[in-house]
């Protein structure tokens, strides 16, 4: 049986207590301003505030802003008002749910806020060969890595949110190809004079019906193909967050993963819940961190998905280091086939950021002539920096 909290004798009064409660909610992640405190006090005058149940419901209507807030509210209310001053359990969002089956992004976000504060964009240091000076040798391997890797360990919701921002800007840079022509449109910006005059003839020369026209957007579809083979695993975090962000930012875009097989992950990444989407993706991308068959996978892409998803208005974005176990000419042929569909090809290679990097890997060298833009990308910042180059494309 819970009791109503007994406040200290020097407590300044109900107004201060409500203010204290609001700051208690704020400390637990609800976004509330000063005006909510006033509103809460006002609300309490309209119900029987001495009855805890009524006060709780009134404050809930005022303070909760979405379903998650509302679910959390009852416990927060009890902790503050119904505990006789004791705090039974810590109400930090990190401790509320340990449920592993449902990775809700909101809870996961809370976890990370409470926990580490690692850099969002840079891959974590000391994790792979990329940190050293290029002494080690990176070669493509043909083995399929059968150990399952949970991609949720790699990708964090904050990264996706940031990547979404970057992806949105990149999408906008690519998309802003406005046509010179104008087409009829009900909500167009300018008037279609020829039509208006023509129509006005039937009303005795009075332009009664205004007909409008607008410049159509020549939108570009992005098809992103991400390499998740062993040699790329250091960069996977950045690229996967980027893909997640891209899918959320741009509903017409498309995403694929490949290592030794090609998998379409568009549907999974479109999941409303970021972490559940990444979870679904990791089930599909079984074999993560294994070998790479760029040529084969791109060949498959050009023969299957490309036929329905790639056209003259597409941009194919390949995120790979170019270390291939297959024959180099297969890669070149696949790229050429994609090019022939009229698409632009952008290859983002994390290794290009290295000092003295030369695209000498056989696959990369063969691919170069077919690529519209070959650029470095290790971090989200690099991806964001691509914006002006994409505009020029």
Partner 1 sequence: MSWTDLQKSMASEAYIASDDLAIALHLSINLGRPILLEGAAGVGKTEVAKVLAACHQTQLIRLQCYEGLDAAQAIYEWNYQRQLLSIRAAAEDGQTGREVEERIFSEEFLLERPLLAAIRQPEPPVLLIDEIDRADEEFEAYLLEVLSDFQVTVPELGTIRATSKPIVVLTSNGTRDLSDALRRRCLYTHISYPSMEAELAILHARCPGVEARLARQIVGFVQTLRNEDLEKVPGVAEMLDFAAALIGLGIADLTSDPTLLHATLKTLLKTQEDQAQVTHEVTARLAGRAA
β-sheet with 344-349: strand ranges across? 262-264, 254-258, 221-227, 314-319, 344-349, 373-376
Q: What's the min distance (Å) between Cβ of 31 and partner 1?
A: 7
Could you tell me how many residues of this chain bind partner 1 (CB under 8 A)?
27
> Is residue 84 a contact partner of residue 5, using CB atoms and an 8 Å limit?
yes
Give, as ranges, the residues between 145 and 174 that touch partner 1 (CB under 8 A): none
Virtual CA dihedral for 175, 177, 183, 185, nearest 10 degrees? Answer: 30
Using rule CB under 8 A, residue 297 touches partner 1 = no
The secondary element (H helix, E strand) that includes residue 254 is: strand 254-258
Q: What's the min distance (Å) between Cβ of 282 and partner 1?
A: 23
Q: What's the min distance (Å) between Cβ of 32 and partner 1?
A: 8
> Which residue from 43, 249, 281, 285 is in contact with partner 1, where contact means CB under 8 A?
43
The string of DSSP codes covering 283-339 is: HHTTTTTS---HHHHHHHHHHTHHHHH--TTEEEEEE-----SS-HHHHHHHHHHHH
Using rule CB under 8 A, residue 267 touches partner 1 = no
> Which residue from 57, 165, 169, 337 is in contact with partner 1, where contact means CB under 8 A?
57
> Which residue from 18, 22, 25, 62 is in contact with partner 1, where contact means CB under 8 A?
62
> Which residue from 1, 34, 46, 101 is in contact with partner 1, where contact means CB under 8 A?
46
Using rule CB under 8 A, residue 187 touches partner 1 = yes
> Which residue from 36, 162, 299, 324 is in contact with partner 1, where contact means CB under 8 A?
36
Using rule CB under 8 A, residue 190 touches partner 1 = no
Using rule CB under 8 A, residue 207 touches partner 1 = yes
Using rule CB under 8 A, residue 208 touches partner 1 = yes
**Which range of residues in 41-49, 111-119, 120-128, 256-264 is near partner 1 by CB under 8 A?**
41-49
Residue 140, token pair as written in the block: 């493509």
> Which residue from 27, 183, 197, 210 is in contact with partner 1, where contact means CB under 8 A?
210
Using rule CB under 8 A, residue 124 touches partner 1 = no
Q: What's the min distance (Å) between Cβ of 196 and partner 1?
A: 12
Residue 134, token pair as written in the block: 């290029």
Instruction: Please give the Cα distance from 357 to 341 (Å, whole number).
Output: 31
Q: What's the min distance (Å) between Cβ of 267 and partner 1?
A: 15
**CB contact burial 169-182 (16+ within 10 A = b; e otherwise):** bbbebbbeeeeeee
Using rule CB under 8 A, residue 94 touches partner 1 = no
Using rule CB under 8 A, residue 33 touches partner 1 = yes
The residue with tokens 């809700």 is: 104
> Which residue from 12, 14, 65, 369 is in contact with partner 1, where contact means CB under 8 A?
65
Q: What's the min distance (Å) between Cβ of 27 and partner 1?
A: 18
Residues 6+ apart with CB under 8 A from 222: 170, 171, 174, 246, 250, 252, 253, 254, 314, 315, 317
Angle between the 157-175 and 105-114 helix axes, to the nearest 10 degrees? 110
Burial class from Cβ neighbours inside 10 Å (0-12, 13-18, 19+) for residue 222 reads buried
What residues line the site for partner 1 (CB under 8 A)? 31, 33, 36, 39, 42-43, 46-48, 53-54, 57-58, 60-62, 64-67, 69-70, 187, 206-208, 210
């Amino acid at each position: 049986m819970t009791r109503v909290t007994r406040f200290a004798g020097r407590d300044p009064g109900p107004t201060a207590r409500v203010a204290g409660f609001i700051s208690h909610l704020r400390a637990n992640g609800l976004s509330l301003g000063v005006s909510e405190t006033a509103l809460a006090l006002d609300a309490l005058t309209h119900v029987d505030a001495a009855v805890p149940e009524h006060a709780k419901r009134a404050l809930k209507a005022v303070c909760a802003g979405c379903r998650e807030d509302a679910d959390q509210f009852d416990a927060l209310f009890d902790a503050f008002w119904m505990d006789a001053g004791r705090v039974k359990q810590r109400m930090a969002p990190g401790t509320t749910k340990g449920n592993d089956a449902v990775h809700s992004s909101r809870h996961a976000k809370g976890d990370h806020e409470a926990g580490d504060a690692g850099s969002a964009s840079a891959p974590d240091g000391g994790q792979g060969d990329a940190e050293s000076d290029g002494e080690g040798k990176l070669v493509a391997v043909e083995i399929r890595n059968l150990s399952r890797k949970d991609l949720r360990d790699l990708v964090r919701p904050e990264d996706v949110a940031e990547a979404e921002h970057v992806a949105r800007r990149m999408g906008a840079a690519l998309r802003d190809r406005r046509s010179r022509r104008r087409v009829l449109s009900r909500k167009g910006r300018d008037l279609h004079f020829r039509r208006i005059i023509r129509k006005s003839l039937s009303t005795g020369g009075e332009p009664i019906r205004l007909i409008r026209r607008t410049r159509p957007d020549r939108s570009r579809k992005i098809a992103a193909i991400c390499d998740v083979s062993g040699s790329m695993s250091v960069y996977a975090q950045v690229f996967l967050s980027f893909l997640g962000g891209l899918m959320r930012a741009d509903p017409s875009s498309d995403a694929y993963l490949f290592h030794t097989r090609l998998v379409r992950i568009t549907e999974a990444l479109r999941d409303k819940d970021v972490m559940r989407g990444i979870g679904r993706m990791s089930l599909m991308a079984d074999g993560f961190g294994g070998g790479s068959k760029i040529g084969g996978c791109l060949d498959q892409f050009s023969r299957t998905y490309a036929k329905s998803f790639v056209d003259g208005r597409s941009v194919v974005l390949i995120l790979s280091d170019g270390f291939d176990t297959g024959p180099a000419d297969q890669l070149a042929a696949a790229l050429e086939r994609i090019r022939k569909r009229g698409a632009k090809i952008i290859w983002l290679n994390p290794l290009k950021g290295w000092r003295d990097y030369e695209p000498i890997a056989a696959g990369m060298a063969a691919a170069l002539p077919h690529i519209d833009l070959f650029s470095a990308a290790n971090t989200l910042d690099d991806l964001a920096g691509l914006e002006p180059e994409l505009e020029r494309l």
